[in-house]
Homo-oligomer: A and B are copies of this chain.
Amino acid sequence: MSGSERDVEAQPSVRMRDVARALGVSVSTVSRALSQPDMVSVETLERVGEMAARMRYRPNLAARDLRTRTTRTLLVIIPSFSPLFLEIFRGAEREAVRQGYSVLMAHSGGDADREHVFLDQVLSQRADGIVLVTTADPARLAERQPSLPIMVTAVDTISGIGAPNMRIDNVAAARAAVEHLIGLGHRRIAHIGGPSDSLMARDRAQGFADAIAAGGLEPAHCPILTGAVTLATGEALMARLLTRYPRPTAVLAANDELAVGALQAVKRDGLRIGADISVIGFDDLRFGMLYDPPVTTVAFDKVELGRLAMAALIARIEGRSDVVDATLPTRLVVRGTCAAPAAP
């Protein structure tokens, strides 16, 4: 009880052997009764079940996993607790449970090292596969090439590793959002983007730039600012935009969190949302919907994205038909933060 070493109050831990002895049968009989019920007589089945319950027997999964080389446990790695990723997780989890797998979530915090620690958990047979929602470092992942776990990626794709990917078309979605603003009459539209090491952020910025070019807007009036995906960043970057002359009349934010931050800056400056500055966000997060006014945003079925990713993972694990990539549709949800620009 003194040292700092492992010294748990040794639970005697009932083993299969103990149950077998108590019943006067062999371990294999118990094993079969427990996992292949139709291979034993009804009577033994019943006796074993009863005794196992009475003795509070719990299988040692480490032993079973070692023997069967399978865990029926899957990992979902998310980079942060953003509602976007949590919704995706929810979909993935539901599908896995439906198919009889356990799911555990790991949180990389965007740290490549920690991400790899979790990948190793699969290679080390603690789990059967991984749904990787966005990666901290695609290049490093591709380098690991020969020793990658069974994996499906969601949101960001990783080229060259042959992992199925479930995504939305961020470029097209961003373009459509900007086109909506142009349609309203905006000519000076800025982009508040996520960090440039994020593929998703880069794609959204790309779509923004495409639409600006296609619409023939003056690029000098349509700046792209980037930063971390936080409220504070959205607010700071918008504050910077508001000092420009001529001021942009609309902003596409790379997600709803940045959008809300931006809107806070607009409010703080005493400008009118819509009339003075229009804002569009991304991902349709609930707190954007609750904002006053509710944020216009690019929406898609996040739960379904997770579900598809998990279904693809399980299909791979079970050796079923290789599922190919999927791209889910997006749609612009028009709410209260956009209007035609006031006459210049």
Please give the residue numbers on chain A whose beta carbons come within 8 Å of chain B beta carbons, in ascending order. 1, 3-8, 56, 58-63, 65-66, 70-71, 73, 75, 81, 86, 89-90, 93, 97, 102-107, 114, 117, 120-121, 123-126, 146-147, 150, 231, 260, 264, 286-287, 290-292, 316-320
Contact = CB atoms under 8 A, between A and B. Distances in A.
Contact of A59 (B103, B124, B317): B124
B319 A7 contact: yes
A224 B94 CA distance: 34
Given A86-B81, A318-B6, A319-B7, A102 B121 contact: yes
Describe A's contact surface by its main secondary structure. mixed
A60 B319 CA distance: 22
A93 B106 CA distance: 10
A33 B89 CA distance: 39
Counting every copy of the chain, the complex holds 2
Q: Which of A6, A61, A103, A124 has the most CB of B within 10 A?
A: A61
14 contacts: A4-B319, A4-B320, A5-B319, A8-B317, A58-B120, A58-B123, A62-B66, A62-B125, A63-B66, A93-B107, A105-B105, A105-B107, A264-B290, A290-B291
A318 B7 contact: yes
Given A147-B56, A287-B290, A5 B318 contact: yes
A131 B90 CA distance: 21
Contacts of A5: 318-319
A46 B307 CA distance: 45
Given A62-B126, A66-B66, A90-B81, A8 B121 contact: no
Contacts of A290: 231, 260, 264, 287, 291
Question: What 3 pairs between A and B have smallest CB-CB spacing?
Answer: A7-B319, A104-B104, A62-B65
Nearest to A72: B6
B291 A121 contact: no
Contacts of A103: 106
Contact of A1 (B65, B90, B319): B319
Contacts of A4: 318-320
Given A62-B66, A81-B86, A287-B287, 14 more contacts: A4-B318, A6-B70, A7-B318, A58-B120, A58-B123, A59-B124, A60-B66, A62-B125, A62-B126, A63-B66, A97-B114, A103-B106, A104-B105, A260-B290
